[in-house]
Structure 1
Amino acid sequence: MYPNDGFRELDRQECLRLLAKVPVGRIVHTRQALPAVLPVNFCLDGDGAVLLRTSAASELARAVAGSVVAFEADEVDAARSSGWSVVVTGRATVVTDPAEQERLARIGPRSWVPSPEEVFVRIHPELVTGRELVGGQTLYGVDIAP
């Protein structure tokens, strides 16, 4: 990051706190050797893992199981020229342990498109990064705040 570029780096705890505030993010995975991005609802587990709930027959469940993926969520206030973005990178696994599935059914995200057979996908947070754009910054001496 360049000094005075209008962004502030966020530490891991700040990133997780901000992620817990929003209900929707985007998972980035590989489809036919190309990047694919899907919006998903999610929640965080106690250790900072990102939890998704999807159909067991979905392309998403098949594509991400055992793969390294990225997950991004953000919040933007265009009127104030401010916001934040957090990226969690890690290995995605489909939860198969019955006791863990039962626990996640109680605390995990609810599917917005329920299906008869659903699975939980957990993204283990190996790398958590984020940055915040602070509103009212100036660019080349010109005030960009409304």
Structure 2
Amino acid sequence: MVELSRSDALALLASVTFGRRALPAIRPVNHLMDQGAVVIRTHSGSMLLDGSMASEVVAYEADAIDPRTHTGWSVVVTGIATRVTDPDDLVRYHALLVPWTDTELAHVVRIIPELVSGYRLER
């Protein structure tokens, strides 16, 4: 395992559109990177939207690992997740971030990475 710099890790995260949101629960979601933030869409029943969440610490992980060679990379960001409420941002994110499932994903959450770790898996 070769440790990645923060910028290399975020660049790899931006190169894919699918990952896993963790904390409070692990869920597969698609994402996009926007101005250094991870942006995801979620449904009304999401644990991220419970109660009057103003912000919550979450982790987000994405990777690209070849199952035959066990090479690739893995990146984890931990940061504050906040619900996106700006109407212009919502319109833009709904256009750019098309859900991979037919579940209604009306809400948008932005994760500001505070901790970033990444590893390249080499032979």
TM-score tier, shorter chain, comes to 0.7 to 0.9
For structure 2, the 5+ residue unaligned runs are: none
Aligned to 1:33: none
Regions of 4+ moved over 4 Å = none
TM-score (norm 1): 0.74
Q: CA RMSD, aligned part only?
A: 1.9
Identity of aligned residues (%): 43
Given candidates 59, 66, 69, the residue that maps to 1:77 is: 66
Q: State how many pairs are aligned.
A: 120
Determine which structure has more spread, i.e. the larger CA radius of gyration: 1
Output one character per residue of 1:6-33: Cα deviation in whole Å (capped at 9) or x when no partner.
x111011211221122221111112xxx
TM-superposed CA distance for 1:38, in Å, is 0.8
Contact kept? 1:89, 1:126, Cα under 8 Å: yes
TM-score in terms of structure 2 length: 0.86
Distance 1:12 1:92 in 2: 19
Q: Which runs of 5+ in 1 are unaligned?
A: 1-6, 31-35, 136-146
- Decide which moves more: 68-77 or 117-126: 117-126
Query: Which of 120, 131, 142 is 2:108 aligned to?
Result: 120
- Between stretches 16-25 and 59-68, larger displacement belongs to 59-68
Asked whether the 8 Å contact 1:90–1:124 carries over to 2, the reply is yes
Bigger RCO of structures 1 and 2 (CA < 8 A, at least 6 apart): 2
Aligned mates of 1:113, 1:14 — CA distance in 2:
32
